[in-house]
Amino acid sequence: MFDQFEAKTFSSDNAEIFFRIGGRGPALLLMHGHPQTHMIWHKVADKLAQYFTVVAADLRGYGDSSRPPTDSKHTPYSKRVMAQDSVNLMASLGHNSFKVLAHDRGARVAHRMAADHNGCVERLMMLDIAPTLAMYENTNEVFARAYWHWFFLIRPAPLPELLIKTDPDAYLAGIMDGRSDGMKYFSSEAMQEYRRCIRKPGTAEAMCEDYRASATIDLEHDRQDIENGHMLDCPVNILWGKNGAVGTCFDVLAEWRKVAKHVTGMELPSGHYIPEEVPDILLEQALIFFRD
């Protein structure tokens, strides 16, 4: 996996960001979700590298990136700060504008990056999310049961952290098994990496802070955009899983058209983990969208 990629580390705003880079051509940043790492792209990264200079990074708090201390407002784990990590990383590689393919939490970071850095994101493909504000403001029982961890992780410290650290492997499996068709799509090599990284000191704390930020400071930033009439200008493509909760609970394209000007997308025959469940379909759609 990632045989053609070089592993590197970049310093950004009190955080060390681990990433892999490979390929050649236009720059494409891959951003993973919770509770995983950049390894979620292992089924598509090598093929994408035939067309793009691919950068697959671990978000701060995840994988082999560092877990910086937080503050009372959860600012270090706000999507604004996490987005700045990515902008800084790509600029250090000589890319002041680039394309983005992002899943789950990484897609929330990518949304904020496109909002805060106009012209930086050339094209944005996001996987299996609706806007964070829309999801919180329109929570129903179906969504709350499927996304129980959204409400568990934002509880005050240290209870969620203590429970995760008691058995991090069980937490990992509990999240992933319930949002896919079992565990059959996840390779043993990828699972080994996810288990290794979730056991790293500080991971539980960082994951909780990521979600606490999403329920507080991130919503403030999203509301400010709406109040100011600020919408994403870049082309946005949304893909979501037919068997997931996002499409069941939300009109995905309608919600994104409230915050972005140029939105396309479609439902895929998968659950939540699109890059690992239907990599061939994702690759096909990514090449259509990013090479347009």
Beta-carbon count within 10 A of 219 CB? 15
Instruction: Give the residue among 264, 270, 225, 263 at the shortest CA–CA distance from 245.
Output: 270
| Pair 240, 267: CB distance under 8 Å | yes
Regarding beta strands 98-103 and 121-127, do their DSSP bridges make them parallel or antiparallel, or are they unpaired? parallel
Q: Per the residue annotation, which of 58, 64, 85, 104 is the catalytic one?
A: 104
For residue 219, CA distances in Å to 1, 48, 199, 223, 259 come to 36, 33, 29, 6, 13
Beta-carbon count within 10 A of 24 CB? 10
Q: Extract the tokens encoding 52.
A: 């793009």
237 burial via Cβ count (<10 Å: 0-12, 13-18, 19+): buried
Query: Is residue 210 annotated as part of the catalytic site, yes or no?
Result: no
Q: How far is it, in rounded angstroms, from Cα 75 to Cα 67?
A: 13
Q: Per the residue annotation, which of 38, 103, 111, 272 is the catalytic one?
A: 272
Q: How far is it, in rounded angstroms, from Cα 172 to Cα 191?
A: 9
Phi then psi for residue 155, to 5 deg, are -65, 150
Query: Is residue 221 annotated as part of the catalytic site, yes or no?
Result: no
Beta-carbon count within 10 A of 71 CB? 9
Which residues are part of the catalytic machinery?
104, 272
